[in-house]
Amino acid sequence: MRKVFPAQLRAGAGEPLLLLHGGSNHCTSWQDVIPLLSDDYDVLAPSLGGHAGGAPLPDGPVTIERYADSVEAVMDAAGWDTAHVAGNSLGGWTAMELGRRGRARSVVALSPAGGWPDNADDRERIRRHWARIRRQIELTRRVAPLGLRNARVRRYSFAEVAVWGDRISPKHAVELLDIALAADRRVSELLDSPVQRYADTGVPTLISWAEHDRFLPAPGFSDPWHAAAPHATFRVLPGVGHVPMYDDPELVAATIRDWIGSPR
């Protein structure tokens, strides 16, 4: 029977805070962060379109503008004109778009996607690499529940997105494989739309790159963001991989909380 994933996670009360996951991931990537923020914020983590639990992608080209459109629809349904927005990878890029559109009170982008190479051959290599990862998951999915019981196997299997993949529980590790397989393959079309320059709209914006990001490593994928958003504050998020919520949810929550509350 096909597993059904939730469309969103929501908890807490207070100012609205929107948490956006990365590509081929799911709102449950925030499950250890949400309890650390929900005492002070109304926290909503939706599943993005074309991902497990999310709405299907519409026909036509897949662009970051369409992702921002879909998230705006989620905000509208929640009754939010604006919210603090934090996102990782694809979610970080989408958070920047919401800031551009005036829907964000503040933005925290954790290793945002979009800083693709200018060279088409390099982008094609990235596309093929992502396709190989998916194929490996398809080939090993049947034996994964047994193998992922081993902490060393989990650490190796998730090394591209986490420093401490062994901290992911065996159950959630298997779920992450199903979540990746549920993602629409057309998400890779985003490689055809590199990040564009962002004007300073006055929205407090933090771009924080994972120190040990192996999926979108700096400086190759971070330098385009320095050029695209020179008004943003740039920091390194120490000791973590591309999906920092896996490695250190306390650090992620503190980064978001401190940015929201810092004086401007």
Q: What is the CATH number of the domain that holds 147?
A: 3.40.50.1820
Query: What is the per-residue pLDDT for 263?
Result: 64
Q: What is the model's pLDDT at position 264?
A: 60
- Is residue 1 included in any domain, yes or no? no
What string of pLDDT tens digits covers the 264 residues of the chain?
Answer: 467 899 999 999 999 999 999 999 999 999 999 999 999 999 999 999 999 999 998 889 999 999 999 999 999 999 999 999 999 999 999 999 999 999 999 999 999 999 999 999 999 999 999 999 999 999 999 999 999 999 999 999 999 999 999 999 999 999 999 999 999 999 999 999 999 999 999 999 999 999 999 999 999 999 999 999 999 999 999 999 999 999 999 999 999 999 999 766
Q: Which 8-state DSSP code applies to residue 122?
A: H
How far is the CA of 214 from the CAs of 34, 219, 244, in angstroms? Answer: 25, 11, 12
- Give the other-Cβ count within 10 Å of 252's Cβ: 27
Is 12 within the bounds of a domain? yes
Domain residues for the domain of 26 are 8-261
User: Could you give the C-alpha distances from 112 to 55, 96, 208, 221, 245, in angstroms and in order?
Assistant: 22, 9, 8, 9, 14
74-78 long-range contacts, Cβ below 8 Å, gap at least 24?
74/8, 74/18, 74/44, 74/46, 75/18, 75/103, 78/16, 78/44
In a domain, 3, yes or no: no
User: Is residue 242 a contact partner of residue 209, using CB atoms and an 8 Å limit?
Assistant: no
Whether 111 is in a domain gets the answer yes
- Domain count across the chain: 1
Residue type, 180: A
What is the C-alpha separation between 241 and 138, in angstroms, rounded?
24
Residue 231 lies in a domain: yes
Task: Please write down the HEC assignment for all residues of 240-262.
Answer: CCCCHHHHCHHHHHHHHHHHHHC
Six-digit token string for 108: 């925290």
Confirm whether 62 is domain-assigned: yes
Neighbours of 198 (CB within 10 A): 19
Q: Quick check: is 23 in a domain? A: yes
Q: Answer yes or no: is 198 within a domain.
A: yes
Over the Cα atoms of the chain, what is R_g?
Answer: 17
